[in-house]
Chains A and B, each alone.
Chain A
Amino acid sequence: MLRYTIRRLGASALVMILITMITFAIVQLAPGGPAILLDEQLSQQDRDDIRANLGLDKPLPVQYYRWAKALLTGDLGNSYMEREPVSHLLAQRLPNTLILAGAALLLAVAVGIPAGILSAARTHSWWDYSFTFLSVLGISIPTFWFGILLIILCSVNLGLLPSAGMYTLGAGNQVGDLLLHMVMPALVLALSPLAEIARYTRSSMLNVIKLDYIRTARAKGVVEYRVLFRHALKNALIPVVTVIGLLLPHLVGGSVIIEKIFAWPGMGRLAADAAFKRDYPVVMGITVVIALVVVAGNLTTDLLYGCLNPRIRWE
């Protein structure tokens, strides 16, 4: 197990380096430069000065080396637009994104897995068909459209939920208030992961249910819910855990549009703004965070896999 863990850790570090290298290159090679250089009044001399100030006049490998060296000391650099350390900006925004992503993940797992099990247990029932239909819908509905639709329905027409933001202005930061504000964005964010988790749970359960040991369990008269939850679920969960691991980056990084529509003061919006304004340090800072989440997510999945399925450890 130890060797397996070390090997996985090494691979993760390598992936991190590659991700940051590639992103660094892509961001810098994208057409259009930092927004601070877009002022039409700047002369070429001004532009060159600014570029030199920011270190953008150096060759790309040198720039990457400097950035990576600073990163190792915990310095992510300064935002061009906000004129603040990137770490400050991340500290402000990351918790908000994590709250939303956590709620969405919880929702997706808590609803998705039981729904998948139920679908598998009652294959080809009306429940199965309607859930299949809803899942396909959930995967294919564009989030920006669904988000606006929800706002119009729940806030504008019914007046049930606050339309955007994290807290009601001037009401203090109450947990209940936060939960109300979170309902719609978390639902929209959870929709597609929920559908995917449900689909994977269903097919994985169906595979397991066909196996001999389940027939044996049933033959010896074990009650159905014990068959499903004790015997079948444990094995059926392995691919589902993988899927959840793969969904993590979607939840943390993929909430750009949702954060914009619901005015959620999170990292996704910061990422989008920074990308449009070519605020390189911010883009890189966010990349590091998201890459860390992805890599950590995959690592956890791999290790959990090892726990759930002892055979994998000896590979």
Chain B
Amino acid sequence: MRIRAFLASLVVVGIAVSGCGSGKPSAPGTGGGDGGAKSGGRVVMPLIADPGTMSPLMASSTAEVILARILFNGLTRLDADTFAPAPMLATTWEQSQDGLSWLFHLRDGVKWHDGQPFTAEDVKFSMDTVLDPKWKSSVGKNFASVKSTDVIDKLTVKFVMKQPFPAFPTYLANRFQVAPKHLLEGKDIANDTEFNKKKPVGTGAFKLAEYVPGDHLTLVANPDFFLGKPKLDTVIFKVLPDANTQIAQLKTGELDVVQLEPFNIPSVEGTKNVRLETGYKSKWWALHLNNDFPLFTDKKVRQAVAYAINRDELVKSVLLGHGQPAASPIVPLIDWAHNPNVKPYPYDPARAKALLKEAGWEDHDGDGIIDKDGKKFTFKLQVIKGNPTAEQTSAILQQEFKALGMDVSMEAYEFGTWVQEVRDTRSGPKMSQAYVVWMTPEPEPDGIYAYFHSSNAEKGSDFNVFRNQEVDKLLDEARTSADQGKRKQDYFRIQEILQDEAARHFLFYPEDIFAVKSNLKGIKVSEPYQYINDWYYQ
């Protein structure tokens, strides 16, 4: 007994010493490996920016969403392999026959970090809050179809819907985490610094121990977590805005997990004790041509552009192979709704040229640029500054389009300016023209509604102003139908139309890439944070 205590104190001293001063690789507190899974240890990860709030009801930035998913829980979470909704704070749920209400049965015995019991009241309070226009919560916009939330008993809650919404449990998983009513009722939800910045109280696997703004957040394991005490003791987020610094700290061993952009892979490869973990999410990159921009109103022109893109080459040179060519906005992982018959447009410049010729675009005056009725084919690729994937892809596309005789220039915008002057300027003389950007629809086929329904063409996520009555009708039907077979048919048809119309030019599905300490296991790349209780050191 005495020897064990002595050894334990040695370990403590060891950690304290290795944590002191020198920037040398410090052991993550696990000691040497003997092969098996061990509990304990700490993981240090970067966070690109400070969270403006830690309240899940107000979360919107990347940092805020990550923290909301660790400190708090939703009623459901997504299965990391199939993206199907799986139990979390709710154990079971059912939809009524008419699809107009959902009943959720909550897990018994769940406690908030302060020891208070979690109940249906908290769920109602949270849903009411995110839907209250007073708070302008960006969480609420995903749940516009919820009419009311009723507490049936302590552990049962009923959502009454305005219209059927079969995707509801999926949306709940990613976009809705429950906050404690007993701490927030009657408070200024948006500005309550005490809860939002200092002492967020959730049900999650980890709870906040310390937050030094601009520096780090320390999270410690919640021993009463309802899925069992997490295997790690501590999770530390360092606020590190610079990607190069993150990589340097990974190499020195100061960080254990870093998410990488493909172009950073070479600088990490060969680092000792670091391996790459990759996985797909519901994410695609596309070239957005404003369908209202005079050059692009012609379907033949849009199709010609589609044939002019070498997607395999983009995957190879921009993603360094970490991805696959894309053909549809419903990612292959959602296998029941992804239409396998819709294939990416093949790279066929000759076909592209022929289509342009059919549309009347030829180089009549011999200046190397195609023209029609005296007007030259001239447009701008409007690039977001500082995003290497967007910049590299745009540069390659520019070359490919130039080869067809198009006069393409590139113009770079700082992000905020780009949003306002390009993405959200969809009509008028300064309307957006063409840009490359990524999209992350909800991992449910209904996730594409926002991107292709014409009601989102003026405001909303139909950024390239695609309007198609048939697609609108199918999207509406599939959204509100409780019949999975019917929904599948609708989504298959939608993907065919999008393909034929060349509405958006899907480029590739990228992999998410994490560089991870070799002995750190259990990370699910597609949904890392909601499964953080499963991370462990070997």
Residues in chain A within 8 A of chain B (CB atoms) = 31-33, 35, 38-44, 46, 50, 78, 81-84, 89, 92-93, 96, 148, 151-152, 155-156, 159-171, 174, 176-177, 180, 260-263, 265-266, 269-270, 273, 276-278
Write the nearest CB–CB distance from B42 to chain A, whole angstroms: 8
CA distance A147 to B123 in the complex (A): 48
Report the nearest B residue to A41, measured CB to CB: B141
Q: Which residues of A contact B241 (CB under 8 A)?
A: 260, 263, 269, 273
Q: Which residues of A contact B22 (CB under 8 A)?
A: 159-160, 162, 180
B156 in the interface, Cβ–Cβ < 8 Å?
no
Residues in chain B within 8 A of chain A (CB atoms) = 15-16, 19-25, 44, 49-50, 52-53, 60, 136, 138, 141, 190-191, 193, 196-197, 212-216, 218, 236, 238-242, 244-245, 248-249, 251-252, 254, 414-421, 423-424, 459-461, 463
A84 and B138 contact, CB distance less than 8 A: no
Given A160-B23, A276-B416, residue A269 in contact with residue B214 (CB < 8 A): yes
CA distance A169 to B193 in the complex (A): 24
Given A162-B254, A261-B242, A263-B238, residue A177 in contact with residue B249 (CB < 8 A): no
B248 and A156 contact, CB distance less than 8 A: yes
A169 and B216 contact, CB distance less than 8 A: yes
A163 and B23 contact, CB distance less than 8 A: yes
CA distance A263 to B214 in the complex (A): 8
Write the nearest CB–CB distance from A41 to chain B, whole angstroms: 5
B420 and A38 contact, CB distance less than 8 A: yes
Q: Which residues of B contact A44 (CB under 8 A)?
A: 459
Q: Which residues of B contact A261 (CB under 8 A)?
A: 242, 244-245
Given A92-B214, A263-B241, residue A273 in contact with residue B25 (CB < 8 A): no
Q: Which of A148, A160, A180, A269 contacts B244 (CB 8 A)?
A: A148
A165 and B216 contact, CB distance less than 8 A: yes
Q: Which residues of B contact A168 (CB under 8 A)?
A: 19-21
B459 and A260 contact, CB distance less than 8 A: no
Write the nearest CB–CB distance from A315 to chain B, whole angstroms: 45
Given A164-B240, A263-B239, residue A40 in contact with residue B461 (CB < 8 A): yes
Write the nearest CB–CB distance from A283 to chain B, whole angstroms: 13
Given A31-B421, A92-B213, A170-B19, residue A148 in contact with residue B248 (CB < 8 A): yes
A165 and B238 contact, CB distance less than 8 A: yes
A31 and B417 contact, CB distance less than 8 A: yes
10 new A-B contacts, CB < 8 A, other than A163-B245, A166-B215, are: A33-B416, A83-B191, A159-B22, A164-B245, A165-B215, A167-B215, A168-B21, A169-B218, A260-B242, A263-B242
Q: Which residues of A contact B252 (CB under 8 A)?
A: 155-156, 159, 163
Across the A-B interface, give the 6 residue pairs with the lowest CB-CB distance, nearest first: A265-B214, A162-B23, A32-B416, A32-B417, A265-B215, A151-B248
CA distance A300 to B227 in the complex (A): 63
Q: Which residues of A contact B418 (CB under 8 A)?
A: 32
B19 and A84 contact, CB distance less than 8 A: no
Q: Which residues of B contact A269 (CB under 8 A)?
A: 214, 241
Write the nearest CB–CB distance from B534 to chain A, whole angstroms: 23
Q: Which residues of A contact B218 (CB under 8 A)?
A: 169-170
Q: Which residues of B contact A159 (CB under 8 A)?
A: 22-25, 252
Given A32-B416, A83-B191, residue A93 in contact with residue B214 (CB < 8 A): yes
Given A41-B460, A83-B52, A156-B248, residue A176 in contact with residue B21 (CB < 8 A): yes
Q: Which residues of B contact A81 (CB under 8 A)?
A: 52
